[in-house]
């Protein structure tokens, strides 16, 4: 992998949140950077987050489907009230391609054997996340313009930044600058 992924960290706490975070500076239009610029980048991301095999052949149609799921999930997570119904179409498609594991608890799976299965795999991972107890711990970074999302694992649910060394550091530096400016 090249330097295209420099500055990207898997900080979301789950594959679906890391997918949302493939857009850097989401809330700052002049700085916005979509790291899923082509099918090869999506294939690299799958490996980067440990979601699948070393190499998936991914078509433009699959890339667009994954990006659409990513944007829908982001809107569901940050909207108040959330429009979870927006996930209906990708979830129904995923169930049509899924297998039911022959064990309990019941679990639908989509084997990630080829690139065409990726949107369905990600849709089911998204459903798992949105059904989990972690749902009430999902936060959006408070950094101006950032827009990354993460699961807050702190005991008192006080995490504010995607990364203490990135947005958190910028906020501390700004606070210090504002305090010392005369």
- Asked whether residue 170 is domain-assigned, the answer is no
Q: What is the pLDDT of residue 20?
A: 97
- Asked whether residue 158 is domain-assigned, the answer is no
Q: What is the pLDDT of residue 175?
A: 66
- Local confidence band at 177 (pLDDT 50, 70, 90 cut-offs): low
pLDDT in tens, 104-145: 988 999 989 899 999 999 999 999 999 999 999 999 999 998
Q: Radius of gyration (Cα) for the chain, nearest Å?
A: 18
- Asked whether residue 162 is domain-assigned, the answer is no
Is 152:164 a contact under the CB 8 Å cutoff? no
- Local confidence band at 67 (pLDDT 50, 70, 90 cut-offs): very high
- Asked whether residue 75 is domain-assigned, the answer is yes
Distance CA 34, CA 145 (A): 14
Q: What is the pLDDT of residue 182?
A: 63
- Local confidence band at 22 (pLDDT 50, 70, 90 cut-offs): very high
Tokens of 171: 């906020």
- Asked whether residue 42 is domain-assigned, the answer is yes
- Local confidence band at 31 (pLDDT 50, 70, 90 cut-offs): very high
Is 7:64 a contact under the CB 8 Å cutoff? no
- Asked whether residue 171 is domain-assigned, the answer is no
State yes or no: pLDDT of 171 exceeds 60: no
Q: 64: domain range? A: 15-138
- Asked whether residue 33 is domain-assigned, the answer is yes
Tokens of 165: 């060394």
Task: Verify cis geometry, omega within 30 degrees of 0, for the bond prior to 4.
Answer: no
> With helix as H, strand as E and coil as C, how does the chain read?
CCHHHCCCCCCCCCHHHHHHCCEECCCCCCCCEECCCCHHHHHHHHHHCCCCCCCCCCCHHHHHHHHHHHHHHHHHHHCCCCCHHHHHHHHHHHHHHCEECCCCCCCEECCCCCHHHHHHHHHHHHHHHHHCHHHHHEEECCCCCCCCEEECCCCCCCCCCCCCCCHHHHHHHHHHHHHHCC
Higher pLDDT among residues 55 and 46, named by residue: 46
Domain count, the chain: 1
pLDDT in tens, 72-87: 999 999 998 889 899 9
- Asked whether residue 161 is domain-assigned, the answer is no
Q: What is the pLDDT of residue 176?
A: 58
- Local confidence band at 161 (pLDDT 50, 70, 90 cut-offs): confident
């Amino acid at each position: 992998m090249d330097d295209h992924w420099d500055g990207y960290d898997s900080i979301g706490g789950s594959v679906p949140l890391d997918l949302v975070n493939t857009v850097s500076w989401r809330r700052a239009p002049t700085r916005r950077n979509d790291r899923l610029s082509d099918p090869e980048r999506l294939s690299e991301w799958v490996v980067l987050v440990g979601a699948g095999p070393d190499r998936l052949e991914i078509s433009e149609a699959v890339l667009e489907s994954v990006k659409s799921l990513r944007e829908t999930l982001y809107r569901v997570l940050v909207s108040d009230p959330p429009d979870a119904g927006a996930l209906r179409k990708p979830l129904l498609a995923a169930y049509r391609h899924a297998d039911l594991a022959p064990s309990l608890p019941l679990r639908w799976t989509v084997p990630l054997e080829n690139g065409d299965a990726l949107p369905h795999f990600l849709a089911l991972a998204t459903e798992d996340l949105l059904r989990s107890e972690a749902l009430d711990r999902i936060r959006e970074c408070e950094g101006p313009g950032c827009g990354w999302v993460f699961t807050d694992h702190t005991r008192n649910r006080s995490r504010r930044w995607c990364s203490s060394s990135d947005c958190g550091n910028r906020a501390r530096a700004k606070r210090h600058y504002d305090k010392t400016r005369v």
